[in-house]
Structure 1
Amino acid sequence: MKYTDPSYFFDYDHPAIQRITSAYQHLETEQEIIHNLYVEVRDGWRYSPFEIGLTKEHFKASTIAQKRQGHCIDKAILLVACLRAFDIPARLHLAKVSNHIATERLEKVIGTNELAPHGLVDVYHNGKWVKCSPAFNKELCAMYRVDVLDFDGTADSVMQEYNRDQEQFMSYLEDYGHFEDVPLDFIMETFKKNYPEFYEQFKDRDQISI
């Protein structure tokens, strides 16, 4: 499999993905396409860590495209599919992070502010791989006084370490590496390993809503 190939998960030939990418067919440079698709996914789908899918269908780019919000992995999958539709090599990257602001609701349920796995995107541009995080939409960043991440393929853009009040916002704890396709078994095992009681409670459902 190449990093531009479609797959069950990165189904960029689906009309729901084509509707997104068709708006950028006129752009002349790869850098413009990367930047515009990044902003489209970052702000077009509200970040929500409170709904976690447990089925293959949930992690299809076309399924995500037809919603208006998504988990960090959802948004990363969507961006990978859109980039591949333009023959731009892209792959899913997973990590473990801690979020230090506005996690009271999550911590009450899962018992920690550590989130695993967290979804990123690797993009191959100008002869090198660079990383980006399309998770946090600009409205959420404004709410929590965090600078919005931008990305055009020239440099890594993965984390807002502090907010504007110099309070710690986010930190990376562990890097799980990159994947050609969506590693559903690995995602589920990582989730189960980090939140065993929570996973056992909801494992027979299609989706966890916190």
Structure 2
Amino acid sequence: MPSMSNLQTLRRATEFLDYETDTVQKFVAEAVGDATTEAEKAVRLYYAVRDGINYEVYATKLSREALRASSIARSGLGFCVHKSILYAAAVRAVGIPSRLVYADVRNHLASERLKSMVGGEVFHHGLVSVHLGGHWLRVTPVFNGLLCRLYGMAPLEFDGTSDSVHHPYDERGGTQMEFLKDYGAYDDVPFDLLLERMRAKHPRMFADRDSVAGSGSLADEAPARTTSV
């Protein structure tokens, strides 16, 4: 059981979880609205990040500045690393302890072009651990509903009481995202370590030191689907 002092530390703003900025405060206020309980706030913030921040990989930035929650809220886009940072900051803004979690996963929501760029279906993945109701829950506010539908997947939901981790592969609840290696949880973005891992695992992903290669949109690369009547 985490101590109260440790939980208090995990509510604080940091270099990357800079929720005291006007940009993040505005994002949080608009998302939370009239929610009163911690669980309600965590759920509303989940959907604000999942569906309000566009999931995009190509040409995104990975500099220290670009990985601050305020920059992510301002740009309105990013992939799992970015969206998890914003969510971790947003829940801290309403008093909910959070940590950032990193893992290697086999990810089925990817175009052929993206898989070629990252070197296959295994991605270095970011998600969030939040402390709600006396328990740590793992939460993945990453793949927005529209993108999931384009790729034939059911969106990953969160109810504030259980983990939101194992993303179904298709609308029938088939193959789930497979977690291959868990690197643990961090109080703030382990910037140098994160970039070192990503460059080692996905060298073709980088256009330069801190920018992802490519242009265009992952949504535009979704496979054509036929609907049976």
Structure 2 unmatched runs, 5+: 1-5, 215-229
Q: 1:202 to 1:145 in 2, by over 3 A?
A: closer
Q: 2:23 aligned with 1:8, yes or no?
A: no
Task: Write the distance in 2 (CA, Å) between the matches of 1:77 and 1:101.
Answer: 20
Structure 1 unmatched runs, 5+: none
User: Under a length normalisation based on structure 2, what TM-score does the superposition of the two structures give?
Assistant: 0.83
Task: Write the distance in 2 (CA, Å) between the matches of 1:90 and 1:165.
Answer: 32
* Aligned with residue 96 of structure 2, among 65, 79, 88: 88
| SS of match in other structure, 2:71 | helix
Task: Write the distance in 2 (CA, Å) between the matches of 1:39 and 1:146.
Answer: 17
The amino acid of 2:81's aligned partner reads I
Q: 2:160 aligned with 1:156, yes or no?
A: no
User: Under a length normalisation based on structure 1, what TM-score does the superposition of the two structures give?
Assistant: 0.90
Q: 2:145 aligned with 1:138, yes or no?
A: yes
Partner of 1:174: 181
The amino acid of 1:51's aligned partner reads A
Q: 2:57 aligned with 1:49, yes or no?
A: yes
Task: Write the distance in 1 (CA, Å) between the matches of 2:81 and 2:177.
Answer: 16
Residues 29-73 of structure 1 deviation map (CA, whole Å, 9 limit, x = unaligned): 111101100010000011112234331001100000011221101
Q: 2:126 aligned with 1:119, yes or no?
A: yes
Count matched residues: 206
Alignment root-mean-square deviation, CA? 1.9
Partner of 2:86: 78
Q: Does structure 2 retain, via aligned residues, the 8 Å contact 1:93–1:121?
A: yes
Task: Write the distance in 1 (CA, Å) between the matches of 2:173 and 2:157.
Answer: 19
The amino acid of 1:68's aligned partner reads G
Q: Does structure 1 retain, via aligned residues, the 8 Å contact 2:207–2:213?
A: no
Q: 2:204 aligned with 1:207, yes or no?
A: no
Task: Write the distance in 2 (CA, Å) between the matches of 1:166 and 1:79.
Answer: 26
Task: Write the distance in 2 (CA, Å) between the matches of 1:41 and 1:91.
Answer: 16
Task: Write the distance in 1 (CA, Å) between the matches of 2:106 and 2:89.
Answer: 27
Task: Write the distance in 1 (CA, Å) between the matches of 2:55 and 2:181.
Answer: 21
Task: Write the distance in 2 (CA, Å) between the matches of 1:113 and 1:136.
Answer: 16
Q: Does structure 1 retain, via aligned residues, the 8 Å contact 2:117–2:202?
A: no
State the 1:167 CA deviation: 5.6
